[in-house]
Structure 1
Amino acid sequence: MRIPENVVNRVNGCVLELRSSPRFGAAVRRHLTVLTYTGRRSGRVFSTPVGYRRAGDVVTIGVRLPDAKSWWRNFLGEGGPLSLDLDGVDRGGHGVARRDERGRVTVTVRLDP
């Protein structure tokens, strides 16, 4: 099941507006960040809002509906570089995607020092 691109773009736009909202932005940014990466095959730069949990220099991103999304596949195997907007600062890191036996996908990011 693929989600139409125009729907994805609309939802992502709404999320980005909420993140920058004076009223709700701080609360939204505690749970949602913007992940930026370069596509493996296309070489294009992409940014997408994602939910996350952070513990020190490790950020965990749970990918909801992974079969309907493709961005996380850029981080399979050895993973790859990315950046996250955390506390208003772009932080570089290395993300690795794993799919568990139940089909759930998690991207684990180790932030650069």
Structure 2
Amino acid sequence: MQTKGWFPRRAVGRLNARVLALRSSPRWGRWASRYLTVVTYTGRRSGRTFSTPVVYRRTADVVRIRVRFPDSKTWWRNFLGTGGPISLHLDDADRSGHAVGHRDEHGRVTVTVRLDD
């Protein structure tokens, strides 16, 4: 994960590791999994596969991810325009879908994922 903002890369790695630990915790994992997931995608330019934890909201087969501090993150830019393929870990299984990113007039970024059947 590359960061261009105020948060050093090492700190981001530690934070992501703690989020993933919370998600797999026997005590808190069930609760955390309702709000946290891991997205996996392939970078458009690099062709490398990346995974990152995100907060999400799901309604049926549509998942919405509000990107916090979007100017300091780059992952969501892979889904601008026509979007691209993405995988999310939901309900103890990996689900694939098509993600499209959108920045509104206030600078807020939302990535909308339509899950495959």
**TM-score of the two chains, using structure 1 as the length reference:** 0.98
Instruction: Give how far 1:14 is off.
Output: 0.3
Residue in structure 2 matched with residue 109 of structure 1 by the alignment:
113
Residue segments in structure 1 that go unaligned for 5+ positions in a row: none
The gaps in structure 2 that reach 5 residues or longer are none
TM-score, normalising length: structure 2: 0.95
User: What is the total number of aligned residue pairs between the two structures?
Assistant: 113
Task: Give the match for residue 70 of structure 1.
Answer: 74
> Partner of 2:64 in structure 1?
60
Q: 1:93 aligns with which of 88, 93, 97?
A: 97
Superposition pairs for residues 1-113 of structure 1, below 5 Å? 2=5, 3-113=7-117
Partner amino acid, structure 1, of 2:91: D
Give, as a single letter, the amino acid of the residue that structure 1 aligns with 2:60. G
| Offset at residue 4 of structure 1 (A) | 1.6
Q: Which runs of 4+ in 1 moved over 3 A?
A: none
Counterpart CA distance in 2 for 1:24 and 1:65 is 26
Tell me how far apart the structure 2 counterparts of residues 40 and 69 of structure 1 sit (CA, whole Å). 15
